[in-house]
Structure 1
Amino acid sequence: MAIIETRDLVFDYIRRDEEGNVEGIITAVDNVSLSVKQGEFIAILGHNGSGKSTLAKHFNAILYPTEGTVFVDGMDTRNDEKLWDVRREAGMVFQNPDNQIIGQIVEEDVGFGPENLGVPTEEIWQRVEESLKAVGMYEFRKYAPGKLSGGQKQRVSIAGVIAMHPKCIVLDEPTAMLDPLGRKEVIRAVRALNDVEGITIILITHYMEEIIHADKVFVMDQGKVALQGTPREIFSQVEKLKELRLDVPQVTMLAHELREKGLDIPEGILTKEELIEALHL
């Protein structure tokens, strides 16, 4: 069974004027059907305004469908009685870690979620230790979050979600506010959670280089799924990605341009190593 499934999902925003009168309706997610299996690493791409973050908020029941259905581990997200079960199974990490970290000390922050779930104290500390080790932040457990870098804060946010033992973690542009080093730290931690812990990952991003290790990619445009496939299948469509206003990793673009110049290079090159091999260097 799929851990996340949407069926004909539609979500409309109601636009109002200053007096609160309805001015119009904006369809942010338009008839999206997709399925995510347990243990998969899924990436959802799209330019700003494509609907990807609105879609992500349905996976944690922050938003409810205008039409269609969203299932999380078989539970309909519109079933109020299942709300906390849904949010326990699909944890959410947002753009700005400062909005998610509330504890004065790192280990206290990570333990906050399990404590609210009524987890016994001894098990809470076990979960805190396991979660911080999983994201490489255990040595910082006694630090104040304000002393950490952006990448470290985001890894603490992820640890706080892991401590609640979700089956799936949805990351809504978790590296958007980070520098390149912070982005690498966070993506490395996320990949490890998927590879080692078997946690299902849904990564919402517009950084193309973050998705090359995903099992499957969905590309959003105007609320619809415009493309879907493996990273190699997606990156083989350079011109289509340009039409969708998405950047392509430098190595993929270089390989594409060399191919257009007549070199015998396959489409969908993902890494420098692949390009070197294709060039027989």
Structure 2
Amino acid sequence: MSLVFIGLGLFDVRDITVKGLERARECDCLFAEFYTSRLMGSDVGEIEELVGMDVRVLDRDEVEGSDLILDMAEDCDVGFFVGGDSMIATTHNDIRLRALERGIDTEVVHAPSIYTAAPGLAGLQNYKFGRSATIAFPYKGNVPKSGYKAVRENRERGLHTLLFLDIKEDRFMSPVEGLECLLEVERLVGDGVVTDDLPVVVVGRAGSSSPEVRAGRVGELVDCEFGGPMHILIVPGDLHFLEEEALQMFGLD
């Protein structure tokens, strides 16, 4: 009996790898979670049609607050679909480790990831990225500071920062909301990290036939309108001349 983590890729069902599709069809039952990431170009019905099996979508409590997946994997071969690459979220790694502790065989089937897609689309060099972070929705009036701190630490080292935008049920944080959160933390902290002149890259709908890449300054982008979700922000650090040329092509003055 086993647990197979299967990445779905970036945008729609066509992003799953051949290996991922083959392994999914060999499983006895299939689960999925879409609260850490989501396929904006396909719904669960299209996944079921492609695989030829039912897929049960789990919420956060069923994934993180119960042993449902592990209990099933002790009796049969279980496939677990996740958006993007199957091991990006710490939640999935925790489940894998708990499965190994229970003597359950595990397998990881990788897929395209935003970690490589966004830098590639923006023309930035992947090895020059530092710690990534998520800009979370404000909670009870408090704006989380993790994204701001990551930008500060990485820019002190000359590194780029990849900033995920929060997902809450069917609400997707927009690039403007993300920038406004960073500016709000700046007003509270006052370290001079996120100013109107700070360069930022917005990457939207990576993996689709019409991805969006727009570079500019915070003061400009915070007033812009962007297309449909999902988006991710990149705050550049020190730039190679080829990276400078790329960002100029995408709108950075």
By the TM > 0.5 criterion, same fold?
no
TM-score, scaled to structure 2: 0.28
TM-score, scaled to structure 1: 0.26
